[in-house]
Amino acid sequence: MDEVDKIRNEINQVDERILEALANRRKLAEQIIQAKEIAGTPIRDSSREERLLADLITKGRNRGLDAHLVTRVFHEIIDDSIRSQQLHLLDYGKAGLSRVAFQGIQGAYSELAGRKHFAPYLDRTVFTGVETLEQVVNAVEDGDVEYGLLPVENTTAGSMNEVYDLLSVAQLSIVGEEVLRVEHCLLTADDVPLAGIRQIYSHPQALAECMKFVAKLPNCQAMPYADSAMAVKKVSDEKSSGIAAIGSEEAGKLYGLKVLRRNIEDQQNNFTRFLILARKPATIDLRIPCKTSLIMATPHEEGSLLKALSLLHEYKINLTKLESRPIPGMPFQYIFYIDFEGNTAEGRIAEAIEKLRTATTSLKVLGSYPAQHRAKTSPRVEVLAGGAPEVIEEPPEQPAARKEKVGYKLASRDHKPDDTIIDVRGVRIGGPGFVVIAGPCAVESPEQILKCARYVRECGGALLRGGCFKPRTSPYSFQGLGFEGLQMLADAGREYDLPIVTEVLSPADVEPVARYADVLQIGARNMQNFSLLSEAGRSNRPVLLKRGMMSTMDEFLNAAEYILDRGNHQVILCERGIRTFETATRNTLDLGSIPILRRLTHLPILVDPSHAAGRRELVIPLALAAHAVGPHGLIVEMHPEPEKALSDGPQALHFSEFADLMRRIYQG
Ligand code: PEP
Ligand code: MN
């Protein structure tokens, strides 16, 4: 045996020990649920999870493991233990053989969702494909199957109207939901160039989710078909080189087609939600976090929907979805579909529903079922940054700001007294928290941005920054890698679970960049590019707006107003230094603007010490000074090898300096 074989052998043994440990852990989790059953305590205890993670991260670091790796692995482990505890409390597992109807043939997304949902019982579950969604409902109503699966909404293409209409007449209950990440492939019988494809077959919903991709192909027609897997089968049966299907990789494998392109959906995060229907409502143990769905109609009079919804508010019920559909035969009258968090078995929810009956003309409870989304407990940033937990206090009450005639309205505190908090994939910017956004000035290569992402994550950074379209003073300087760079940034963000922020330079780029970026940056040089501001205002992505280098507070807030006025209420302001007579720094960091802005506006405010300083050795002192004047966070530049950076190298922090900054910020 040579050296490599020996090491591989040892690795195999380690892997087996990991499996054994996982199996042991799962057994213990099952014992816990028995004990909890007696005590009646909820399955999850997030403060215990938080302490557990903090402890594991410290122990992992002592053994040379990344906090991110430890967190990721334990998220999966904790999730598995919650899932197995939930399964223990569900009815599904107690039944014998389950038959499940879905629309389509083998390989359809509905079937994939079904397999995911019933994964623990696949040995006892039989899937039957039927032709239409209505037949799915009929099969359950007639008792031919125990469960039916209906796709109800997609995050790109929206709600399935037909399913909502079926739900209103079906004599069925919702007993579960499943969310499937849908990654569409372009499938063909043989290797043809994209330009050679004349027709693409798929379900209309799948075609809608890939509309932009299909529209870009010359002389190519989208052909709606009953179901995506049937379209795949058709293309496989016909074997003609000009036709293709959009479907899952699994369907492609099943029917012997080649994957010509992967991930052709217009939005990177493309999910479809399915409902699981049964004849009888499920009784779900109160320890499982649930959702409840209902259909209601309100009297045709002013304020009636508001009255119904404020009842839910009164009972502190969190709505997750509200959908309206026309009532057949009654023009311009609507029924409403409502999903909210809670279980009809809870007293509070049952009481709210009874009250709701008095405010509606009809009400049908569709059922309570376990919520698919299980939030992940994150380690506290103080743990990541290596410091002790710190309580950040709300700033004390301030006397009202001086009343002056200003051109902006929506941005002002008068308009909205409470701080705006912007949620970027779970990261909250604004309000009491403090976030640090970091990354290189420009994305330069996959390796460079991955290294930055890993380090930002390790130190407790909240978002990853990286310019792909660079506004350079000289046209001969590096201009950024464009969309290629954006893909690298998105991949790095996904790998390390960090939302990403990148700059857009032109109105035409807003929409394509927003497909990848979680936050759009509008740079100092573009602060008064009104067409860019307006276009960003039509986007639904948060916008990080930097202060122009010669702009007053008033001009800055009016620039934000353009975005707000166009309908996008998610604007983050950023002070990055202004131009003065002083040349010792690249710009002069105007820290006085922070307390002023905090009084004038409800919008979150960040400070960028990097572009203000222009020199690395000034970045940490300026960042610490900025932290002291009360912004909601910082955005800083760092680079694995600042000396080799293609832009803004002199101001980029080395990784060790970034770690030091994080420690000093979060250790207080
Ligand atoms: C940047 O963030 O890389 C940048 C170009 O910033 P500013 O617009 O503040 O100069
Ligand atoms: Mn820069």
In this predicted model, what pLDDT tens digit does every residue of 384-422 receive, in sequence order? 887 433 444 555 666 655 556 678 999 999 999 999 999
Active-site choice (102, 274, 340, 655): 274
Report residue 185: phi and psi, to 5°. Answer: -115, 150
Proximal ligand: closest to the CA of 609: 1
Q: Ligand 2 is a single-atom ion; what residues have CB below 5 A from it? A: 441, 648
Q: Are 110 and 151 in contact (CB under 8 A)?
A: yes
Residue of 386, 395, 350 lying closest to 597 (CA atoms): 395
Atom of ligand 1 nearest to the CA of 526: 8
**Residue in 443, 503, 526 to alter for ligand 1 test, most ligand atoms within 8 A of Cβ:** 503
Contacts 24+ apart (CB under 8 A), 159-166: 159/323, 160/205, 161/325, 162/133, 163/133, 163/275, 164/323, 164/325, 164/337, 165/325, 165/328, 166/133, 166/134, 166/137
Q: Helix, strand, or coil here: 23?
A: helix
pLDDT, residue 387, reads 44
Compute how many other C-beta atoms are within 10 angstroms of the C-beta atom of residue 419.
18
Q: Are 499 and 518 in contact (CB under 8 A)?
A: yes
pLDDT, residue 542, reads 98
**Residue in 444, 478, 521 to alter for ligand 1 test, most ligand atoms within 8 A of Cβ:** 521
Distance of CA 378 from the midpoint of ligand 2 (Å): 30
Distance between alpha carbon 573 and the CA centroid of its chain, in Å?
A: 22
* Mean pLDDT to the nearest integer, 561-586: 97
Distance of CA 565 from the midpoint of ligand 2 (Å): 28
Proximal ligand: closest to the CA of 649: 2
Query: Whose alpha carbon is nearest atom 9 of ligand 1?
Result: 524
Q: Which residue is listed with tokens 């009646």? A: 40
For ligand 1, residues with CB inside 6 Å are 441, 467, 471, 523-525, 546, 576, 608, 611
Residue of 662, 155, 154 lying closest to 163 (CA atoms): 154
Q: What is the distance between the alpha carbons of residues 143 and 279, in angstroms, rounded to a whole number?
A: 8
pLDDT of 130 higher than 80: yes
Tell me the percentage of the chain whose pLDDT exceeds 90.
78
pLDDT of 39 higher than 80: no
Distance of CA 431 from the midpoint of ligand 1 (Å): 24
Active-site choice (272, 298, 360, 377): 272
Buried b / exposed e along 596-634 (16+ C-beta atoms within 10 A): ebbebbbbbbbbbbbbbbbebebbbebbeebbeebbbbb
Distance of CA 456 from the midpoint of ligand 1 (Å): 19
Distance of CA 380 from the midpoint of ligand 2 (Å): 28
pLDDT of 328 higher than 60: yes
pLDDT of 668 higher than 90: no
Q: Is 502 a catalytic residue?
A: no
Query: Whose alpha carbon is nearest atom 6 of ligand 1?
Result: 523
Q: Are 146 and 278 in contact (CB under 8 A)?
A: yes
- Beta-carbon-side half-sphere exposure of residue 307 (alpha carbons within 13 Å): 15
**Residue in 504, 543, 576 to alter for ligand 1 test, most ligand atoms within 8 A of Cβ:** 576
Residue of 583, 650, 573, 574 lying closest to 619 (CA atoms): 650
Tell me the percentage of the chain whose pLDDT exceeds 70.
96
pLDDT, residue 82, reads 85
* Mean pLDDT to the nearest integer, 476-488: 96
Name the least confident of 245-249, 270-274, 362-366, 380-384. 380-384
- The pTM score is 0.79
Query: Whose alpha carbon is nearest atom 1 of ligand 1?
Result: 441
User: Would you state the torsion angle of the CA atoms of residues 125, 129, 132, 138, taken in this order, to the nearest 10 degrees?
Assistant: -40
The 8-class DSSP code of residue 527 comes to T
Q: Helix, strand, or coil here: 245?
A: strand
Dump strand ranges (E) for 251-376.
258-261, 271-278, 290-297, 319-327, 330-341, 362-370
Q: Is 473 a catalytic residue?
A: no
pLDDT in tens, 196-205: 999 999 999 8
Taking the alpha carbons of 639, 643, 647, 653 in that order, is the dihedral positive or negative?
Answer: positive
* Mean pLDDT to the nearest integer, 115-127: 91
pLDDT, residue 389, reads 37
Q: Look over the chain and give the mean of its residue pLDDT values, rounded to a whole number.
A: 92
Residues making up the chain, counted from first to last: 668
Query: Whose alpha carbon is nearest atom 5 of ligand 1?
Result: 523
pLDDT in tens, 451-467: 999 999 999 999 999 99
* Assigned token pair, 423: 């949620």
Distance of CA 611 from the midpoint of ligand 1 (Å): 7
Q: What is the distance between the alpha carbons of residues 162 and 49, in angstroms, rounded to a whole number?
A: 41
pLDDT, residue 380, reads 85
